[in-house]
Amino acid sequence: MDLTALLLQQMVNAIFLGSIYALIALGYTMVYGIIELINFAHGELFTAGAFIGVIVLSALQQAGWVESHFVLTLIIVFGLAMAYVAVLGVAVEHVAYKPLRNSSRLSALLSALGMSIFLSNGMMLSQGVSDRAYPQVFGLQAIEILGARITKGQIFIILLAIALMVALQLFVHRTRLGKAMRATAQNRTMARMLGIDIDQTIRITFMIGPALGAAAGVMVGLFYGAVRFDMGFIFMIKAFAAAILGGIGSIPGAMLGGLIIGVIEVGWAAFLPSAWKDVTTFTVLILVLYLKPSGLLGESVSEVRV
Protein backbone atom coordinates (compact mmCIF):
# COMPACT_ATOMS: atom_id res chain seq x y z
CA MET A 1 0.00 0.00 0.00
CA ASP A 2 1.47 3.35 -0.95
CA LEU A 3 1.25 6.56 0.98
CA THR A 4 -1.86 7.98 -0.71
CA ALA A 5 -3.70 4.76 -0.08
CA LEU A 6 -2.58 4.75 3.52
CA LEU A 7 -3.64 8.34 4.05
CA LEU A 8 -6.96 7.76 2.35
CA GLN A 9 -7.57 4.68 4.43
CA GLN A 10 -6.80 6.56 7.63
CA MET A 11 -8.99 9.41 6.53
CA VAL A 12 -11.95 7.12 6.04
CA ASN A 13 -11.30 5.62 9.45
CA ALA A 14 -11.09 9.09 10.96
CA ILE A 15 -14.34 10.19 9.36
CA PHE A 16 -16.02 7.04 10.53
CA LEU A 17 -14.86 7.39 14.11
CA GLY A 18 -15.45 11.13 13.99
CA SER A 19 -19.08 10.76 12.96
CA ILE A 20 -19.68 8.35 15.80
CA TYR A 21 -18.17 10.79 18.29
CA ALA A 22 -20.14 13.60 16.70
CA LEU A 23 -23.43 11.75 17.07
CA ILE A 24 -22.75 11.12 20.75
CA ALA A 25 -21.43 14.63 21.29
CA LEU A 26 -24.67 16.04 19.90
CA GLY A 27 -26.51 14.51 22.83
CA TYR A 28 -24.25 16.23 25.34
CA THR A 29 -24.33 19.51 23.60
CA MET A 30 -28.10 19.62 23.19
CA VAL A 31 -28.77 18.72 26.79
CA TYR A 32 -26.12 21.07 28.04
CA GLY A 33 -27.43 23.83 25.83
CA ILE A 34 -30.87 23.54 27.29
CA ILE A 35 -30.40 22.77 30.98
CA GLU A 36 -26.68 23.42 31.53
CA LEU A 37 -26.09 19.96 32.87
CA ILE A 38 -23.54 17.38 31.85
CA ASN A 39 -25.66 14.31 31.26
CA PHE A 40 -23.27 11.77 32.70
CA ALA A 41 -25.70 9.02 31.83
CA HIS A 42 -25.41 9.76 28.13
CA GLY A 43 -22.60 7.24 27.63
CA GLU A 44 -24.83 4.57 29.16
CA LEU A 45 -27.73 5.55 26.95
CA PHE A 46 -25.41 5.03 24.00
CA THR A 47 -24.49 1.59 25.31
CA ALA A 48 -28.14 0.75 25.90
CA GLY A 49 -28.77 1.55 22.24
CA ALA A 50 -26.03 -0.84 21.24
CA PHE A 51 -27.53 -3.59 23.39
CA ILE A 52 -31.04 -3.13 22.09
CA GLY A 53 -29.49 -3.25 18.64
CA VAL A 54 -27.76 -6.55 19.29
CA ILE A 55 -30.84 -8.09 20.87
CA VAL A 56 -33.11 -7.11 18.00
CA LEU A 57 -30.57 -7.93 15.32
CA SER A 58 -29.86 -11.38 16.75
CA ALA A 59 -33.55 -12.14 16.88
CA LEU A 60 -34.09 -10.98 13.32
CA GLN A 61 -31.09 -12.94 12.14
CA GLN A 62 -32.48 -16.11 13.66
CA ALA A 63 -35.71 -15.42 11.86
CA GLY A 64 -33.76 -15.20 8.65
CA TRP A 65 -34.69 -11.62 7.93
CA VAL A 66 -31.14 -10.48 7.33
CA GLU A 67 -31.06 -12.47 4.12
CA SER A 68 -34.60 -11.86 3.02
CA HIS A 69 -35.28 -8.25 4.06
CA PHE A 70 -31.89 -6.67 4.57
CA VAL A 71 -32.92 -3.02 4.43
CA LEU A 72 -36.03 -3.54 6.51
CA THR A 73 -33.92 -5.32 9.13
CA LEU A 74 -31.61 -2.36 9.41
CA ILE A 75 -34.52 0.04 9.68
CA ILE A 76 -36.10 -2.04 12.43
CA VAL A 77 -32.84 -2.37 14.34
CA PHE A 78 -32.00 1.32 14.23
CA GLY A 79 -35.60 2.33 14.74
CA LEU A 80 -36.20 0.20 17.80
CA ALA A 81 -32.86 1.08 19.38
CA MET A 82 -33.43 4.78 18.88
CA ALA A 83 -37.04 4.67 19.99
CA TYR A 84 -36.32 2.73 23.14
CA VAL A 85 -33.38 4.87 24.14
CA ALA A 86 -35.40 8.02 23.47
CA VAL A 87 -37.94 6.84 26.04
CA LEU A 88 -35.15 5.78 28.37
CA GLY A 89 -33.70 9.27 28.04
CA VAL A 90 -36.99 10.82 29.04
CA ALA A 91 -37.25 8.39 31.94
CA VAL A 92 -33.80 9.39 33.17
CA GLU A 93 -34.69 13.03 32.86
CA HIS A 94 -37.93 12.59 34.70
CA VAL A 95 -36.54 10.52 37.53
CA ALA A 96 -33.13 12.06 38.08
CA TYR A 97 -32.93 15.56 36.62
CA LYS A 98 -36.34 17.14 36.64
CA PRO A 99 -36.75 17.20 40.41
CA LEU A 100 -33.40 18.97 40.66
CA ARG A 101 -33.96 21.68 38.12
CA ASN A 102 -33.86 24.42 40.72
CA SER A 103 -31.20 22.88 42.91
CA SER A 104 -27.51 23.57 43.06
CA ARG A 105 -25.41 22.39 40.20
CA LEU A 106 -23.47 20.04 42.46
CA SER A 107 -26.64 18.12 43.35
CA ALA A 108 -27.64 17.82 39.71
CA LEU A 109 -24.19 16.60 38.69
CA LEU A 110 -24.15 14.00 41.43
CA SER A 111 -27.60 12.82 40.47
CA ALA A 112 -26.51 12.48 36.86
CA LEU A 113 -23.45 10.55 37.92
CA GLY A 114 -25.63 8.28 40.03
CA MET A 115 -27.80 7.55 37.02
CA SER A 116 -24.73 6.74 34.98
CA ILE A 117 -23.44 4.27 37.55
CA PHE A 118 -26.89 2.79 37.95
CA LEU A 119 -27.45 2.23 34.25
CA SER A 120 -24.01 0.89 33.54
CA ASN A 121 -24.29 -1.65 36.34
CA GLY A 122 -27.82 -2.51 35.37
CA MET A 123 -26.52 -3.39 31.94
CA MET A 124 -23.70 -5.38 33.44
CA LEU A 125 -26.18 -7.37 35.50
CA SER A 126 -28.50 -8.01 32.60
CA GLN A 127 -26.02 -8.41 29.77
CA GLY A 128 -23.02 -9.85 31.53
CA VAL A 129 -19.47 -8.60 31.88
CA SER A 130 -18.06 -10.01 28.69
CA ASP A 131 -18.30 -8.83 25.10
CA ARG A 132 -21.51 -9.52 23.30
CA ALA A 133 -20.97 -10.36 19.66
CA TYR A 134 -22.86 -8.45 17.01
CA PRO A 135 -24.05 -10.45 14.03
CA GLN A 136 -21.95 -9.44 11.05
CA VAL A 137 -24.49 -8.44 8.46
CA PHE A 138 -22.38 -6.43 6.06
CA GLY A 139 -19.90 -9.11 5.11
CA LEU A 140 -16.33 -8.27 4.28
CA GLN A 141 -16.86 -7.06 0.76
CA ALA A 142 -14.86 -3.93 0.21
CA ILE A 143 -14.51 -1.33 -2.45
CA GLU A 144 -11.04 -0.33 -3.48
CA ILE A 145 -10.46 3.35 -4.06
CA LEU A 146 -6.88 4.33 -4.91
CA GLY A 147 -5.71 1.26 -3.09
CA ALA A 148 -7.63 1.97 0.12
CA ARG A 149 -10.17 -0.64 1.19
CA ILE A 150 -13.50 0.71 2.32
CA THR A 151 -16.17 -1.72 3.38
CA LYS A 152 -19.83 -1.38 2.55
CA GLY A 153 -20.60 -1.23 6.23
CA GLN A 154 -18.32 1.75 6.68
CA ILE A 155 -19.92 3.59 3.82
CA PHE A 156 -23.40 2.85 5.11
CA ILE A 157 -22.55 4.01 8.60
CA ILE A 158 -20.91 7.22 7.47
CA LEU A 159 -23.84 8.05 5.22
CA LEU A 160 -26.36 7.31 7.94
CA ALA A 161 -24.48 9.47 10.42
CA ILE A 162 -24.42 12.35 7.97
CA ALA A 163 -28.13 11.91 7.23
CA LEU A 164 -28.98 11.98 10.93
CA MET A 165 -26.98 15.14 11.46
CA VAL A 166 -28.61 16.86 8.50
CA ALA A 167 -32.02 15.82 9.78
CA LEU A 168 -31.20 17.23 13.19
CA GLN A 169 -30.04 20.50 11.70
CA LEU A 170 -33.28 20.77 9.72
CA PHE A 171 -35.35 19.91 12.76
CA VAL A 172 -33.72 22.53 14.91
CA HIS A 173 -33.91 25.31 12.37
CA ARG A 174 -37.09 24.61 10.49
CA THR A 175 -39.64 23.20 12.88
CA ARG A 176 -41.65 24.85 15.60
CA LEU A 177 -40.37 22.47 18.27
CA GLY A 178 -36.81 22.89 17.09
CA LYS A 179 -37.10 26.63 17.34
CA ALA A 180 -38.65 26.32 20.77
CA MET A 181 -35.64 24.26 21.75
CA ARG A 182 -33.19 26.88 20.57
CA ALA A 183 -35.16 29.66 22.23
CA THR A 184 -35.24 27.75 25.51
CA ALA A 185 -31.51 27.21 25.35
CA GLN A 186 -30.83 30.87 24.75
CA ASN A 187 -33.16 32.41 27.31
CA ARG A 188 -35.35 30.16 29.31
CA THR A 189 -37.43 32.72 31.17
CA MET A 190 -38.17 34.66 28.02
CA ALA A 191 -39.09 31.48 26.20
CA ARG A 192 -41.63 30.72 28.90
CA MET A 193 -43.08 34.19 28.74
CA LEU A 194 -43.70 33.61 25.05
CA GLY A 195 -45.72 30.52 25.84
CA ILE A 196 -43.13 27.78 25.28
CA ASP A 197 -43.71 24.75 27.49
CA ILE A 198 -40.27 24.19 28.98
CA ASP A 199 -41.00 20.73 30.31
CA GLN A 200 -42.04 19.52 26.93
CA THR A 201 -39.05 21.12 25.25
CA ILE A 202 -36.65 19.52 27.68
CA ARG A 203 -38.34 16.17 27.22
CA ILE A 204 -37.89 16.41 23.49
CA THR A 205 -34.25 17.26 23.93
CA PHE A 206 -33.90 14.19 26.09
CA MET A 207 -35.46 12.11 23.34
CA ILE A 208 -33.44 13.35 20.42
CA GLY A 209 -30.01 13.43 22.03
CA PRO A 210 -30.13 9.89 23.41
CA ALA A 211 -31.73 8.60 20.19
CA LEU A 212 -28.75 9.88 18.23
CA GLY A 213 -26.48 8.28 20.82
CA ALA A 214 -28.33 5.00 20.40
CA ALA A 215 -27.81 5.13 16.65
CA ALA A 216 -24.12 5.63 17.30
CA GLY A 217 -24.20 2.64 19.64
CA VAL A 218 -25.66 0.37 16.98
CA MET A 219 -23.10 1.67 14.50
CA VAL A 220 -20.24 0.89 16.87
CA GLY A 221 -21.63 -2.59 17.39
CA LEU A 222 -22.03 -3.22 13.68
CA PHE A 223 -18.56 -1.97 12.93
CA TYR A 224 -16.50 -3.41 15.75
CA GLY A 225 -18.59 -6.54 16.00
CA ALA A 226 -19.10 -6.45 19.77
CA VAL A 227 -20.56 -4.43 22.61
CA ARG A 228 -19.78 -4.36 26.29
CA PHE A 229 -21.61 -2.87 29.25
CA ASP A 230 -18.81 -0.40 30.03
CA MET A 231 -17.93 0.79 26.57
CA GLY A 232 -19.96 3.93 27.17
CA PHE A 233 -17.33 5.37 29.47
CA ILE A 234 -14.53 5.83 26.99
CA PHE A 235 -16.89 6.96 24.26
CA MET A 236 -18.44 9.39 26.65
CA ILE A 237 -15.09 11.00 27.45
CA LYS A 238 -14.20 11.30 23.80
CA ALA A 239 -17.56 12.59 22.74
CA PHE A 240 -17.46 15.02 25.59
CA ALA A 241 -14.04 16.18 24.45
CA ALA A 242 -15.57 16.64 21.01
CA ALA A 243 -18.48 18.66 22.40
CA ILE A 244 -16.14 20.90 24.39
CA LEU A 245 -13.74 21.29 21.52
CA GLY A 246 -16.51 22.39 19.20
CA GLY A 247 -18.04 24.63 21.83
CA ILE A 248 -20.59 23.12 24.14
CA GLY A 249 -24.14 24.08 23.27
CA SER A 250 -23.30 24.41 19.59
CA ILE A 251 -24.66 21.73 17.27
CA PRO A 252 -22.30 22.34 14.35
CA GLY A 253 -19.56 22.59 16.96
CA ALA A 254 -20.26 19.07 18.15
CA MET A 255 -20.01 17.75 14.62
CA LEU A 256 -16.75 19.58 13.96
CA GLY A 257 -15.34 18.56 17.34
CA GLY A 258 -16.23 14.92 16.69
CA LEU A 259 -14.39 14.94 13.42
CA ILE A 260 -11.31 16.55 14.91
CA ILE A 261 -11.16 14.08 17.78
CA GLY A 262 -11.58 11.26 15.25
CA VAL A 263 -8.69 12.57 13.18
CA ILE A 264 -6.46 13.04 16.19
CA GLU A 265 -7.15 9.58 17.48
CA VAL A 266 -6.73 7.77 14.17
CA GLY A 267 -3.65 9.79 13.33
CA TRP A 268 -2.10 9.02 16.66
CA ALA A 269 -2.86 5.32 16.49
CA ALA A 270 -1.45 5.13 12.94
CA PHE A 271 1.90 6.67 13.67
CA LEU A 272 2.53 6.59 17.42
CA PRO A 273 2.18 3.97 20.15
CA SER A 274 -1.53 3.31 20.30
CA ALA A 275 -1.52 2.44 23.99
CA TRP A 276 -1.24 6.15 24.64
CA LYS A 277 -4.01 7.29 22.33
CA ASP A 278 -6.57 7.65 25.10
CA VAL A 279 -4.12 9.71 27.08
CA THR A 280 -3.93 11.99 24.06
CA THR A 281 -7.68 12.47 23.96
CA PHE A 282 -7.78 13.34 27.65
CA THR A 283 -4.93 15.75 27.18
CA VAL A 284 -6.69 17.43 24.28
CA LEU A 285 -9.81 17.75 26.39
CA ILE A 286 -7.94 19.32 29.26
CA LEU A 287 -5.94 21.64 27.04
CA VAL A 288 -9.07 22.90 25.30
CA LEU A 289 -10.82 23.47 28.59
CA TYR A 290 -7.83 25.35 29.86
CA LEU A 291 -6.94 27.39 26.82
CA LYS A 292 -10.31 28.03 25.17
CA PRO A 293 -13.19 26.80 27.29
CA SER A 294 -15.73 28.27 24.89
CA GLY A 295 -14.51 25.92 22.18
CA LEU A 296 -14.11 26.54 18.48
CA LEU A 297 -17.67 27.48 17.58
CA GLY A 298 -19.15 28.15 20.99
CA GLU A 299 -20.36 31.33 22.51
CA SER A 300 -18.25 32.40 25.41
CA VAL A 301 -20.09 30.93 28.33
CA SER A 302 -20.40 33.06 31.38
CA GLU A 303 -19.11 31.91 34.69
CA VAL A 304 -21.86 30.18 36.58
CA ARG A 305 -21.82 29.02 40.15
CA VAL A 306 -21.10 25.39 40.88
Partner 1 sequence: MAVTAKSILELTDVHTYYDNIHALKGISLSIPEGDIACLIGANGAGKSTTLLTISGVQPAEKGEIRFRGEPIQHLRPEQVAGKGVAQTPEGRQIFPRMTTFENLEMGAFLRKDKAAVAEDLEWVFSLFPVLKERAGQLGGTLSGGEQQMLAIGRSLMSRPALLLLDEPSLGLAPKLVERIFKTLLEINQKGTTIFLVEQNAHMALNISRTGYVMETGRIVLTDRASALLENEQVKKAYLGE
Partner 2 sequence: MVRQELQKLAVYAFFLAILLIPMLGFRSASFEPDRALKIWGVFVGILILNFIVKAVRGGRAAVEAHKEPWTERTRERISRIPRLYTIGGLALLAAVYPLMANNYMIDVGITCLIYVSLGLGLNIVVGLCGLLDLGYIAFYAVGAYTYSLLNLTFGVSFWAALPMGVVLGMVCGCIIGYPTLKMRGDYLAIVTLGFGEIVRLVLNNWDSLTAGPNGLFGMKRPTLYYPSFADGGFSWVAYYLKSLPALYYLILIIVVLTIVGVRRLDNSRIGRAWIAIREDETAAELSGVPTTWNKLLAYALGAAFASVAGAFFAAKLSYTNPNFFLFMESCIVLCIVVLGGVGSIPGIVVAGFVLIAVPEIFRGLENYRMLAFGAIMTIMMVVKPEGLIPASRRKRELHATDPHPHEESDGRDR
Give the shortest CB-233-to-partner 2 separation in angstroms: 7
Site size for partner 2 (CB under 8 A): 71
Angle at 109 between CA 165 and CA 43, to 5 degrees: 40
Residue 145 binds which entry of partner 1, partner 2, none, with Cβ cut-offs from 5 to 8 Å by kind? none
Residue 190 binds which entry of partner 1, partner 2, none, with Cβ cut-offs from 5 to 8 Å by kind? partner 1
Contact 30, 86 (CB under 8 A): no
Residue 167 binds which entry of partner 1, partner 2, none, with Cβ cut-offs from 5 to 8 Å by kind? none
Fill in the per-residue mask, 11 to 40: x = in contact with partner 2 (CB under 8 A), - = not in contact. Answer: -------------------------xxx--
Contacting partner 2 within 145-184 (CB under 8 A): none
Return the number of the residue (8 or 77) whose C-beta is nearest partner 2.
77
Return the number of the residue (221 or 247) whose C-beta is nearest partner 1.
247
Q: Of the listed pieces 2-10, 140-148, 218-226, 272-280, which binds partner 2 according to CB under 8 A?
A: 272-280
Q: Of the listed pieces 44-52, 207-215, 220-228, 260-268, which binds partner 2 according to CB under 8 A?
A: 44-52
Q: Does 268 bind partner 2 (CB under 8 A)?
A: no
Contact 181, 34 (CB under 8 A): yes
Q: Does 130 bind partner 2 (CB under 8 A)?
A: no
Give the shortest CB-26-to-partner 2 separation in angstroms: 17
Contact 281, 82 (CB under 8 A): no
Contacting partner 2 within 70-129 (CB under 8 A): 84, 87-88, 90-92, 94-96, 98-111, 113-128
Give the shortest CB-199-to-partner 2 separation in angstroms: 5
DSSP state letters, the chain: --HHHHHHHHHHHHHHHHHHHHHHHHHHHHHHHHH----TTHHHHHHHHHHHHHHHHHHHHHTTHHHH-HHHHHHHHHHHHHHHHHHHHHHHIIIIIGGGTTS-HHHHHHHHHHHHHHHHHHHHHHH-SS-EEPP--S-S-EEEETTEEEEHHHHHHHHHHHHHHHHHHHHHHHSHHHHHHHHHHH-HHHHHHTT--HHHHHHHHHHHHHHHHHHHHHHHHHHHSEE-TTHHHHHHHHHHHHHHHH-TT-HHHHHHHHHHHHHHHHHHHHHS-GGGHHHHHHHHHHHHHHH-TTTTTPPPPPP---
Return the number of the residue (48 or 158) whose C-beta is nearest partner 2.
48
Give the shortest CB-250-to-partner 1 separation in angstroms: 9
Residue 204 binds which entry of partner 1, partner 2, none, with Cβ cut-offs from 5 to 8 Å by kind? none
Binding site for partner 1 (CB under 8 A): 176, 179-180, 182-183, 186-187, 189-198, 299
Return the number of the residue (196 or 264) whose C-beta is nearest partner 1.
196
Give the shortest CB-178-to-partner 2 separation in angstroms: 21
Q: Which residues contact 129 (CB under 8 A, 6 or more apart)?
A: 228, 229
Return the number of the residue (69 or 94) whose C-beta is nearest partner 1.
94
